Amino acid sequence: MPTYKLTYFDIRGRGELIRMLFVLSGKEYEDKRVQFADWPKLKPTLPGGSLPILEIDGKVYTQSLAIAQYLAKEFKLSGKTSLECLRVDEVVHTAEDMLQAMAKSMFEKDETKKKEMIEKLAKEDVPRFTKIFESFLTENKTGFFVGNSISAADLAVYNVLESAITKLGEAALKDSPKLLENRKKVAADSKICNYLKKRKQTDM
């Protein structure tokens, strides 16, 4: 078994899908969390100048989605056929698009602009993405995004919706019955359930 060390900030962000893949597969990994105060010193030492990085047997890899896709494959959470893998990737990348849309308002310093951005998020961006996710679930009919069990797709969506709920409240999913059901299924997994109970609460 290789040794895995994930380095990311002390938030969910782009590290959480990777963490949840480790949790669901039951594989051990080191979860190194960098404090923002220590970041300026660490940044110039990294290959891409950003986080997350994953060290596999000491070798450094970057790009969260590439890392997640690799781990999902290793842990058999990436789909059983090439077409299932395509759908998993499609959903994971859509979750990343949603994460990017949500992140914009987090870094806005001007309070008036920030308020406008959050209103747009609630009225336009979040409903646009939840509609896409609902249609994937409608098509698959099992309550999961792909096949009939949890894959990287369910974890990626669970994670990004957590940020939507933190920001906008449960109302963010009021018109998304299938997503609510899917979130229950993910949280019902015993390993995920334990992890969710224990994990640190952060805004993003």
Return residues touching ligand GSH (CB under 6 A): 13-14, 43, 50-52, 63-65
The span from the CA of 84 to the CA of 1, in Å, is 26
Give the nearer residue to ligand GSH in terms of CB position, either 25 or 62: 62
Give the nearer residue to ligand GSH in terms of CB position, either 12 or 87: 12
Measured at CB, which residue is nearest to ligand GSH? Answer: 50
CB of 20 to ligand GSH, least distance (A): 15
The span from the CA of 17 to the CA of 94, in Å, is 13
CB of 64 to ligand GSH, least distance (A): 3
Residue 118 region, left (φ>0) first, then alpha (ψ -120 to 50), else beta?
A: alpha
The secondary element (H helix, E strand) that includes residue 87 is: helix 82-106
Q: DSSP letter at 29? A: -
CB of 175 to ligand GSH, least distance (A): 29
Give the nearer residue to ligand GSH in terms of CB position, either 65 or 122: 65
Q: CB atoms < 10 A from the CB of 20, how many?
A: 27
CB of 186 to ligand GSH, least distance (A): 22
Beta strands in 49-107 (DSSP E): 53-56, 59-62
Give the nearer residue to ligand GSH in terms of CB position, either 159 or 176: 159
Give the nearer residue to ligand GSH in terms of CB position, either 62 or 149: 62
The span from the CA of 160 to the CA of 94, in Å, is 10
The span from the CA of 98 to the CA of 144, in Å, is 19
Give the nearer residue to ligand GSH in terms of CB position, either 14 or 87: 14
Could you give the count of Cα atoms lying within 13 Å of 18 in the half-sphere of its Cβ? 29
Give the chain's largest Cα–Cα span. Answer: 51
CB of 51 to ligand GSH, least distance (A): 4
CB of 49 to ligand GSH, least distance (A): 6
146 three-state secondary structure: coil
